[in-house]
Amino acid sequence: MLRNLLQGACLATALVLTLSACESNAERVEELSGLTMGSTFTIKYVYNAATPAADAVGAEVQSILDEVDRQMSTYRLDSDIARFNQSPVNTCMQMPQPVLDLVQYGHELSRISDGAFDLTLGPLLDVWGFGPQARAKHVPSAEDIAQAKARVGYQHVRVVNDQLCKDADVQVEFNSIAAGYTVDRISERFAELNIDSYMIEVTGELIAKGRKPDGSPWRIALEQPLGDGQRVIQRVLEIDGYGLNTSGDYRNYFEEDGVRFSHTIDPQEAAPIRHRLASVTVVDQSTLRADGLGTLLLVLGPERGLDFAEQHNIAAFFVMRDGDGFATQVSSEFSRIFPEGGNP
Q: What are phi and psi of 299, to 5 degrees?
A: -65, -40
Give CA–CA dist 344/336, Å, rounded. 8
Q: CATH for 84-166, among 3.50.50.60, 2.60.40.1290, 3.40.190.10, 1.10.3980.10?
A: 1.10.3980.10
Percent of the chain with pLDDT over 90: 77
Residue 10's pLDDT band (cuts 50, 70, 90): very low
pLDDT at 233 over 80: yes
pLDDT, the chain, mean: 90
Task: Tell me which DSSP letter residue 211 carries.
Answer: B
Residue 12's pLDDT band (cuts 50, 70, 90): very low
What is the per-residue pLDDT for 180?
A: 98
What is the per-residue pLDDT for 253?
A: 80
Contact between residue 177 and residue 105 where contact means Cβ atoms under 8 Å apart: yes
C-beta neighbour count of 31 within 10 angstroms: 15
pLDDT digits (tens, 9 = 90+) for 122-138: 999 999 998 777 778 88
Give CA–CA dist 98/124, Å, rounded. 25
pLDDT at 17 over 70: no
Type of residue numbered 160: V
> What average pLDDT score do residues 9-20 get?
43
pLDDT at 2 over 60: no
Contact between residue 343 and residue 238 where contact means Cβ atoms under 8 Å apart: yes
pTM score, whole prediction: 0.90
**Domain ranges within the chain, ordered by starting residue:** 1-74+173-210, 84-166, 217-344
User: Could you tell me the fold of the domain covering 217-344?
Assistant: T-fold (3.10.520)
SS3 content of the chain, % helix, strand, coil (to 5): 30, 30, 40
Give CA–CA dist 318/339, Å, rounded. 15
The answer to which of 257-266, 275-284, 308-317 has the lowest mean pLDDT is: 257-266
What is the per-residue pLDDT for 15?
A: 53
Give CA–CA dist 318/279, Å, rounded. 6
> What average pLDDT score do residues 14-24 get?
48
What is the per-residue pLDDT for 261?
A: 85
Instruction: Please state whether beta strands 218-223 and 233-239 pair in parallel, antiparallel, or not at all (unpaired).
Output: antiparallel
Give CA–CA dist 273/28, Å, rounded. 44
Using alpha carbons, list the distances in angstroms from residue 21 to 26, 30, 47, 55, 309: 12, 10, 13, 14, 46
What is the per-residue pLDDT for 11?
A: 36
Radius of gyration of the chain (CA): 20
Give CA–CA dist 213/62, Å, rounded. 25
Q: Can you list the alpha helix ranges (DSSP code H) found in 113-258? A: 122-127, 142-149, 178-192
pLDDT at 299 over 80: yes
